[in-house]
Amino acid sequence: MKYFSFIVLIFIFSFALSCKKQSDNGVPITAVDIYLYSNNPSFINLTAVGGYVYITGGVRGILLYRKSNSEIMAYDRNCTYQSTQPCATVVVDQTHILAVDTCCHSKFSIYDGGVTQGPASLPLKAYQTTFDGNVLHIYN
């Protein structure tokens, strides 16, 4: 009986380790700790409220959106609906208000990451940010 219990315990433990960690919204968990400097010419579009840029990081890249003079939002570009599909990446549309998934055509507000049109039912994965006017820190 001890052998059987031991084998079952090993099986459960190895199964748990083999699973890819997912966040609450289905997007894989990945470490993010990025510092950006506002004087970098690549981020000129973030100088005005309503501006956005894409950066490398997260699962499929990160969408940065200037929400106010003191707040910059950071969202993973991985769609929350069928997040493992190769094309499940959001891009900002021509209105500069919505991020649209290129696969399922779900739409998300870049103001708060919320779903505006399904089939997605969960918001974009948001990363924490701090911004002191010169340095933007993106992290989880």
Which residues partner with 33 through β-bridges?
139
Query: CA torsion sign, 62 to 60 to 15 to 121?
Result: positive
Q: What are the sequence ranges of the domains in the chain?
A: 21-139
**What pairing do the DSSP bridges indicate for beta strands 52-55 and 107-109?**
unpaired
Residue 23: pLDDT band (50, 70, 90) is low
pLDDT tens digits for range 26-51? 788 899 999 999 889 999 999 999 99
Please give the model's pTM, rounded to 2 decimal places.
0.80
Average predicted confidence (pLDDT) for the chain: 84
pLDDT tens digits for range 67-125? 999 899 999 999 999 888 888 899 999 999 999 998 899 999 999 999 999 899 999 99
CATH superfamily, domain at 21-139: Rieske [2Fe-2S] iron-sulphur domain (2.102.10.10)
